[in-house]
Structure 1
Amino acid sequence: MPKRRRIAWFSTWFKDGYSRSLSAYFSSRLIPLLNERYEIEFFSADFSGPSDIPCFHYLKAFEEHRSRPYDLFIYNLENSKSAYFARTHLALIPGVVVFHDLLFGDFGPEPILNSAWRHTVKKFHSSAEPFPDRAQEHRQSGPQGYREAAFAPAAVFMNERSHEQYIREVEFGLLGRSERLSYYLSYPIEPFDVCAGDLQAIDRFRVGIIGPPRIENRTHKALLALQKLGEASELHWMVGSEEERKLASDLHSEYRLGEVRFYTNGSPEVWREIAANIDCAMHLRFSVFGQVEPYLGISLMAGRAVLVTDFGDSCYLPDSLMFKIVPGEIEAGQIAEVLRTIRTGAVPPADKISAYASERYDPGMVAEEFSSILEQSFSTMSSIMQNWQALEVQARQEVLNEQAAHSGPFKDQFRELGLL
């Protein structure tokens, strides 16, 4: 039997069985499907991880790598401070990066805020390039993860909009534009036993929405549309915390709507429970930050009638299987009209929706695609790591030379040790 490739997998993990982290969701679905094929060891910032594979604190990664070198490092990055540790380690050892987000809400953790990453890339390509002055200030140009993308010879994107942005805008990295590897990958989502009821026969129209009452989530438009609908509805609203629930409850009260149930431990696992018991799911979002997956995929896998904002990732989805809402002044009216249409039963067949979702999100298929990405990455990363290790040797020597230059009476000892 051939020896399994060794992989260092960086990701957040679950706490108390639930997590809003897309990294944790992705890792929990794929690692069990890949673990027989690869020797995976898991690294996090809090010692958490899957129970059936070795798990370490990320600060131990260098030690483990020296002991038994990994063939590949995989980093899961998202717009959350929980991913800071992975963003930090990526600056030390490049690898395959799974971008759950390409736009971040900040410039990252303290150790890399003043990162001279552009100089590092130039030095990687030319040993004659001088190291930058460490007192120099290096500003970031914006919230885009271009620094992280530069150290990702192979990049995997969990939404198509980010992948297109990467192809269009990222030009600078360890590999040239024509050499680098980039891919779009769907989230893995388990199938449902689809059971579509008669929407005309139900007493209460059950509607699910996601997210706190912020303008980008369009919840104010959704509630106004339900008010315009003018009939009994049962709202299932998933938020992420008790504070968000209070804000959502206050907004809901303003519209004097019917029954509502709030879910405060918002996560893909909780949304899956909701999607199994609603008639319609609203995945409305108008923002360049964040995305609607995997929640949208869960609703589609359940065969539910779905509303999405005609913006960002949703533009890539088929018009025939969902209702696309144009954001703006008439948005609430559009939503109300679509809800009336859904209420009459004039929706795509549930089995057709779930069949499409199965082709897009099937866990086995996603695992095969990701495995294929890894196989293509091994040889590329092998040559990258050889050059990276040579750069590390130069960097260590540069630091020693700098220390020796200020060592005064210890210069003879430094020469004796071969450091000068």
Structure 2
Amino acid sequence: MAKFLEFQGKEWLRKSGLPVPQGRVASTPEEAKKIAEEIGKAVAVKGQVQAGGRGKAGIVKLVNTPDEAAAAAAEILAKSIGGNPILQVLVEEKLDIQKEYYCSFVINGAREARSPMLMFSAEGGMDIESVPEELLFKINIDPINGLQTYDAVDVCARAGIPAQDLSKFASFLSKLSQTYKKLDCQTLEINPFVMTGSGNLVCADCKMEIDNSSVGRHPEFGIKIARDLPGAPTELDLIGWSIEETDARGTGFLMNMGYDEVSPGYIGYHPIGGGSAMMGLDALNQVGLKPANYADTSGNPVGSKIYRVAKCVLSQPNIDGYLLGGFMMANQEQWHHAHAIVKVLREILPTQKPGLPCVLLLCGNREDESLEILRDGLADLMTPDGPGKRIEIYGKQYVTDTKFIGQRLLALSQEYRAEKESQGK
């Protein structure tokens, strides 16, 4: 799912006519101070990152003055959560909170439902996970007609909302439901939404995730990659997405796994198919190696698409090897892979990564011809002193032997790193 940060989600709520606190995002302590001055009262300074439990993590702070807002922003912007640096803070007015509530619109994938679902509780806030099941009320929503007012009234009444407030809550939830549908959300969670001292309902937080398949209908979102990512897209993510976006012939994509370019033991990873990918990860995990990326070339892609994926995988800096993980008896024409891999390795190994370990496992349809293409096309590189001296080629006899493939890659990568260290590289 394409995920929005809190301030982005709140902006779309505001455009949909829903109440959100006054405020905006800042990237520096100075900007945070200026926003606090404009608001002119106590503010909340909230780190913007794709993570839950931000209050407990210390990246949500309530302050009374602009100088305190600047100090809070400086402290928060110096942190990271789950490996993701905090690059922005949302500075918004501190609300006069009378009570906190919880609601979320999600997809109920149960066979008897397969519809949107509203979850509502009169117990919202940081510890929603600990709210007893009997205090979390759920109702499936008609995907065509949306949340009906009488259903919203019913769920609020069951949750214990006073009779005089039922109309207000039902109207609020109905408008959220309309926004959920209009924006093609997968998830729209407001935790908490609050009742202020003046009796108004306000969205104090927002978690919004958009259905990847709908991104093309919403150019206004400015989403560059319709894919689940742990953080902001990297250059590799953007390149990998463009491969699939511009060529629909078979699957061919790659994405960043957040590897540390300084640390040893990362392998450029090029599996063929989902099941094959899991076996390749098993091969790496068994010997303590790690994937620098995730990729896939399956569904009988053309050689040019495989070439683009492989070149991206091999172009990553400071990897200790390359694994073409064909851990399956594929029914696609494997000579497309063979031709693409020969071309990429001939381009990269001699000048950019001489001696890089390359373990190539390829089997399935046209296997014999494909292995012959690899061996003949790389023969002059695979001499004892050649730039491809650590290329090893395997076929179906090792299709399930992840331990052997992992051990070969480990031995070659250790030899390669030792050679680089001896040369001062």
**What TM-score range do you get, normalising by the shorter chain?**
under 0.3
- TM-score (ref. length: structure 2): 0.26
Q: Which has the larger radius of gyration?
A: 2
- TM-score (ref. length: structure 1): 0.26
Q: Which has the higher helix share?
A: 1
